[in-house]
């Protein structure tokens, strides 16, 4: 029998996830587990079965007459604005009134006594519409003359024409990168309980409670102070619950206020996947000029994205693709443009990396092109193009921010050695030279990822700490818990501040009642922002306690310090509870709100210049694969990862983020395929048809290490770095390794130009194309 070690649970320690015991026993409560008050009703969405049409009307009589139906909600039932667009562009109605813009678009909601009754009734509507032509991918939509969904971005530096003119080599190409469904295990859900006057409380699964609050207020036509949004935890988010919950929260709240009864809405998995947005697919046209040593001279790229029918977050997502189209490489002359293309599909949204991964894919494809053109090891091409150290004039990004914290060289060199990349590559080439059915490939790819919301005003956070007079501590902050361990990390920060045991701190649900105007828990920013805000609150209370302790014992404040056994006051050591009790009796204020805003960042989008990122996180992965050239099937033999999280707040949780992100990134580029039919209907809409990685898809050998020597040079919380998104792009090493394995069938003479996701089918077809010499 093993014993739990007693830990104080301070930072830089492997504190366990605060909900771990509840999760393994089934006692962790998710929104659908909350006990329903008597009279709770259930809503379900009725959706369109065409991709594009003029909407003439909907006959809902059969729906209303169905068993158990209490009400049907249409656009006419919305008391406030029929709009849930997260960026205020007013292009995303709760329910459309004039046109249908994608297959599966919600048109109305049924409210019934049971979820089953609502679901059955929702099928009975008769939609009167005139079908219009549709275009579902960015290329055919552009060809059909469909508009951009939001303003494109251009990043430019240097003189691109001159760069190409003087380059010794030039290659143009195109890469198609598929989208990705979030496939959080807990789907969307919202549960609204009406209150008195205009009030409503919404329990839901969202990364952005403040936005849900503002949207509910907006559709109800009430001030935000009438709406409370609560999130205890999510069963996964990954960006899919940053804006996509708006619809469900709105419907539940409208129903609850209209009927005066609690209303819950939970779509089934198929509806969740068809009616909510995903990662943007991209078609990227690139043009590179480079010298005979493989050094890039000039890059131009156009990034067209399938944005769907509304803007949602497509503006910032396509922006971030451009911000990461350099990955870790210096482009002397560069011009990058985005094409956020409107399409007749569900509106795509945030997903871990937020466009960044698609930018990085483009950079890595260009590296590949150069390597094949010059018959070089792609790793040598990568290294030749890394950003410099600030002394060589090679550290300016396409958005004119200088890379001042560059550690990619050291990360890659350490991994190159620990993974034994060179020797394995030689061995693999020798194996492939025998010309067998199975071919192997290895690739080592870097990642550099910019940390901060590019919408600068989002880089703020609040926290609230109460110390009760028994010495127990209540912690609240604006971030949400979706599995990443944010609450655990923030509690570690607070435990360390007060030098108290982790278990003394009660972590509570995120609620708009306690911390207002929060930002989405997104952009990997959760602990950077909320950790600092909580620390700020803790420091305020500490200062009051120090002041009280000094005064009460007649010592100077310098003589007071917090330690693990209590507060040292002169020569005394007073237990935390005792000092708190005394402070309370002396009427010391034991509650504080904390606040933080990221310093030194600014961004001028029109000019394409600024410092959008506070710092960068770095990492590298080396993956080896075997492919079967008869079927295109493959297996990941080994992956080695070295990843930078600065001084980790919690190495165990950070390692979990790195491992999970790698597998999710690998899934995006391998087996996860979104497939629409000619009618514009998504046919991969549940785990039976949409295949995320399983345990047996893990690399057969998986070595994951944090760069424990790294420390954030900026004043982040305990010098840590963000971890949510950056390691997602480590999965690209698997994609590149597959490409190398495919290339072997044509003796590495041809760049395989593999498309993503590299399903067994795409691998086989690439193999056969290369064998045919194309």
What whole-number distance in Å separates Cα of residue 429 and Cα of residue 70? 68
**Shortest Cβ 185–another protein spacing (Å):** 4
Out of 37, 436, 516, 575, point to the residue binding another protein (CB under 8 A): 436
Q: With respect to another protein, which residue has the nearer C-beta, 230 or 598?
A: 230
Beta bridge partners of 473: 467, 505
Contact window for another protein (CB under 8 A) among 66-74, 249-257, 546-554, 628-636: 628-636
Estimate to the nearest angstrom the gap between the alpha carbon of 135 and the chain centroid.
27
User: How far from each other are the two terminal CA atoms of the chain, in whole angstroms?
Assistant: 62
Out of 391, 556, 571, 696, point to the residue binding another protein (CB under 8 A): 696
**Nearest in space to 473 (alpha carbons), one of 502, 506, 509:** 506
Out of 621, 764, 766, 770, point to the residue binding another protein (CB under 8 A): 764
Contact window for another protein (CB under 8 A) among 32-40, 286-294, 302-310, 391-399: 32-40
Contact window for another protein (CB under 8 A) among 77-85, 163-171, 378-386, 629-637: 629-637
Q: With respect to another protein, which residue has the nearer C-beta, 371 or 738?
A: 738
Q: Which two tokens stand for residue 257?
A: 């206020």
**Shortest Cβ 527–another protein spacing (Å):** 15
Q: With respect to another protein, which residue has the nearer C-beta, 270 or 380?
A: 270
**Shortest Cβ 655–another protein spacing (Å):** 8
- Site residues for another protein, 236-265, by CB under 8 A, read 236-238
3-state secondary structure 633-666: CEEEEEEEEEECCECCCCHHHHHHHHHHHHHHHH
Out of 20, 165, 586, 774, point to the residue binding another protein (CB under 8 A): 20
Q: Which residue has the tokens 């690399």?
A: 699
What whole-number distance in Å separates Cα of residue 560 and Cα of residue 539? 14
Q: With respect to another protein, which residue has the nearer C-beta, 268 or 389?
A: 268
Helix, strand or coil, per DSSP, at residue 226: helix
User: ω into residue 754 within 30 of 0, thus cis?
Assistant: no
* 124 binding another protein? (CB under 8 A): no
**Nearest in space to 499 (alpha carbons), one of 554, 572, 571, 574:** 574
Out of 239, 485, 619, 752, point to the residue binding another protein (CB under 8 A): 485
* 195 binding another protein? (CB under 8 A): no
* 765 binding another protein? (CB under 8 A): yes
Q: With respect to another protein, which residue has the nearer C-beta, 105 or 626?
A: 626
Contact window for another protein (CB under 8 A) among 13-21, 124-132, 149-157, 293-301: 13-21
Q: With respect to another protein, which residue has the nearer C-beta, 340 or 757?
A: 757
**Nearest in space to 613 (alpha carbons), one of 728, 727, 454, 394:** 454
Q: Residue count at the site for another protein (CB under 8 A)?
A: 89
Q: With respect to another protein, which residue has the nearer C-beta, 614 or 728?
A: 728
* 634 binding another protein? (CB under 8 A): yes
Q: With respect to another protein, which residue has the nearer C-beta, 92 or 242?
A: 242
DSSP 347: P
Helix, strand or coil, per DSSP, at residue 752: coil
**Shortest Cβ 677–another protein spacing (Å):** 8
Q: Which two tokens stand for residue 579?
A: 């000092």
Largest CA distance in the chain: 88
* 49 binding another protein? (CB under 8 A): no
Contact window for another protein (CB under 8 A) among 213-221, 276-284, 416-424, 650-658: 650-658
* 759 binding another protein? (CB under 8 A): yes
* 270 binding another protein? (CB under 8 A): yes
Cβ contacts of 688 within 8 Å, gap of 6 or more:
none
- Site residues for another protein, 437-476, by CB under 8 A, read 437-438
What whole-number distance in Å separates Cα of residue 100 and Cα of residue 661? 35
Q: With respect to another protein, which residue has the nearer C-beta, 144 or 185?
A: 185
* 86 binding another protein? (CB under 8 A): no
* 90 binding another protein? (CB under 8 A): no
242 is an active site residue: no
8 A C-beta contact, residue 443 and residue 740: yes
8 A C-beta contact, residue 751 and residue 774: no
**Shortest Cβ 29–another protein spacing (Å):** 8
Out of 631, 679, 749, 774, point to the residue binding another protein (CB under 8 A): 631
* 694 binding another protein? (CB under 8 A): yes
**Shortest Cβ 217–another protein spacing (Å):** 28
Out of 80, 195, 388, 660, point to the residue binding another protein (CB under 8 A): 660
* 630 binding another protein? (CB under 8 A): yes
What whole-number distance in Å separates Cα of residue 288 and Cα of residue 302? 12
* 683 binding another protein? (CB under 8 A): yes
Out of 233, 257, 333, 542, point to the residue binding another protein (CB under 8 A): 233
Q: With respect to another protein, which residue has the nearer C-beta, 150 or 670?
A: 670
* 663 binding another protein? (CB under 8 A): yes
Strand residue runs (E) in 668-710: 701-706
| Residue of 725, 736, 761, 768 marked catalytic | 725
- Site residues for another protein, 131-190, by CB under 8 A, read 182-187
Estimate to the nearest angstrom the gap between the alpha carbon of 265 and the chain centroid.
24
For every residue of 149-217, DSSP letters joined together read SS---EEEES-HHHHHHH-SEEEEEEEEE--B----SS---EEEEE-STT-EEEEE--S-HHHHHHHHH
| Rg of the chain taking only CA atoms, in angstroms | 27
What whole-number distance in Å separates Cα of residue 96 and Cα of residue 55? 8
Q: Which residue has the tokens 């992965």?
A: 621
* 709 binding another protein? (CB under 8 A): no
Q: With respect to another protein, which residue has the nearer C-beta, 395 or 689?
A: 689
* 688 binding another protein? (CB under 8 A): yes
For residues 670-705, b (16+ Cβ closer than 10 Å) or e, as one string?
bbbbbebeeebbbebbeeeebbbbeeebebeeeebe
Q: Which two tokens stand for residue 169?
A: 């080599």
3-state secondary structure 326-345: CCCECCCEEEEEEEEEECCC
* 21 binding another protein? (CB under 8 A): yes
What residues are labeled active site? 725
């Amino acid at each position: 029998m093993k014993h739990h070690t007693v830990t104080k649970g301070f930072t830089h320690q492997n504190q366990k996830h605060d909900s771990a015991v509840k999760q393994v026993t089934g006692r962790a409560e998710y929104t659908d587990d909350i006990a329903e008050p008597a009279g709770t009703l259930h809503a379900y969405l009725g959706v369109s079965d065409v991709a594009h049409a003029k909407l003439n009307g909907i006959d809902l009589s059969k729906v209303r007459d169905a068993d158990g139906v209490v009400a049907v909600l249409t656009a006419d039932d919305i008391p406030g604005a029929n709009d849930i667009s997260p960026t205020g562009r007013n292009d995303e109605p709760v329910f459309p009134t004039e046109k249908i813009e994608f297959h599966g678009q919600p048109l109305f909601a049924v409210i019934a006594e049971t979820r089953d009754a609502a679901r059955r009734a929702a099928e009975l509507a008769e939609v009167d519409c005139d079908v219009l032509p549709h275009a579902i991918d960015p290329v055919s939509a552009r060809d059909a003359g469909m508009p951009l969904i939001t303003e494109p971005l251009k990043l430019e530096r240097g003189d691109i024409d001159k760069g190409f003119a003087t380059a010794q080599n030039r290659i143009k190409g195109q890469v198609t990168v598929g989208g990705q469904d979030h496939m959080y295990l807990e789907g969307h859900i919202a549960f609204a309980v009406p209150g008195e006057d205009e009030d409503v409380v919404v329990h839901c699964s969202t990364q952005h409670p403040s936005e849900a609050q503002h949207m509910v207020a907006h559709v109800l036509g009430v001030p935000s102070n009438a709406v409370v949004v609560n999130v205890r935890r999510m069963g996964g988010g990954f960006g899919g619950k940053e804006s996509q919950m708006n619809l469900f929260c709105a419907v539940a709240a409208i129903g609850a206020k209209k009927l005066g009864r609690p209303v819950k809405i939970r779509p089934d998995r198929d509806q969740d996947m068809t009616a909510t947005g995903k990662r943007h697919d991209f078609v990227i046209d690139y043009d590179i000029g480079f010298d005979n040593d493989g050094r890039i001279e000039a890059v131009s790229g156009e990034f067209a994205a399938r944005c769907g029918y509304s803007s949602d977050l497509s503006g910032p997502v396509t922006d971030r693709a451009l911000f990461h189209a350099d990955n870790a490489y210096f482009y002397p002359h560069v011009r990058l443009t985005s094409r956020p293309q409107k399409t007749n599909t569900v509106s795509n949204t945030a997903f871990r990396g937020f466009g960044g991964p698609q930018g990085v894919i483009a950079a890595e494809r260009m590296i590949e092109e150069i390597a094949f053109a010059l018959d070089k090891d792609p790793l040598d091409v990568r290294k030749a193009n890394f950003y410099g150290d600030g002394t060589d004039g090679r550290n300016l990004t396409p958005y004119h921010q200088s890379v001042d914290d560059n550690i990619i060289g050291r990360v890659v060199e350490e991994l190159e050695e620990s993974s034994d990349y060179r020797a394995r590559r030689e061995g693999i080439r020798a194996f492939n030279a025998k010309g067998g059915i199975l071919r192997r490939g290895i690739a080592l790819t870097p990642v550099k990822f910019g940390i901060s919301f590019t919408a600068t005003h989002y880089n703020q956070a609040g926290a609230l700490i109460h110390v009760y007079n028994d010495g127990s501590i209540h912690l609240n902050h604006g971030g949400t818990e979706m599995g990443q361990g944010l609450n655990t990390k923030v509690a570690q920060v607070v435990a360390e501040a007060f030098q108290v045991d982790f278990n003394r701190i009660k972590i509570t649900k995120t609620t708009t009642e306690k911390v207002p105007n929060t930002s989405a828990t997104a952009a990997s920013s959760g602990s950077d922002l909320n950790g600092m805000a909580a620390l700020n609150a803790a420091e305020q209370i500490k200062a009051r306690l120090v002041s009280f302790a000094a005064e009460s014992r007649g010592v100077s404040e310098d003589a007071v310090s917090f330690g693990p056994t209590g507060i040292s006051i002169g020569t005394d050591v007073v237990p935390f509870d005792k000092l708190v009790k005394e402070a309370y009796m002396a009427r010391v204020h034991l509650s504080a709100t904390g606040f933080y805003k990221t310093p030194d960042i600014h961004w001028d989008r029109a000019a394409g210049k600024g410092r959008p990122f506070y710092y960068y996180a770095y990492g590298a992965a080396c993956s080896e694969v075997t492919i079967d050239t008869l079927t295109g099937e493959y297996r990941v033999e080994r992956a080695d990862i070295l990843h930078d999280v600065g001084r980790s707040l919690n190495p165990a949780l950070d390692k979990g983020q790195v491992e999970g992100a790698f597998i999710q990134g690998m899934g995006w580029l391998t087996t996860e395929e979104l497939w629409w039919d000619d009618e514009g209907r998504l046919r991969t809409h549940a785990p039976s048809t949409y295949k995320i990685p399983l345990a047996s898809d893990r690399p057969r050998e998986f070595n994951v290490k944090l760069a424990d020597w790294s420390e954030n040079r900026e004043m982040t919380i305990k010098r840590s770095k963000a971890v949510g998104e950056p390691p997602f792009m480590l999965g690209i090493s698997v994609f590149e390794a597959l490409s190398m394995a495919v290339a072997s069938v044509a003796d590495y003479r041809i760049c395989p130009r593999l498309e993503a996701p590299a399903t067994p089918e795409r691998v086989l077809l690439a193999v056969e194309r290369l064998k045919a010499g194309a």
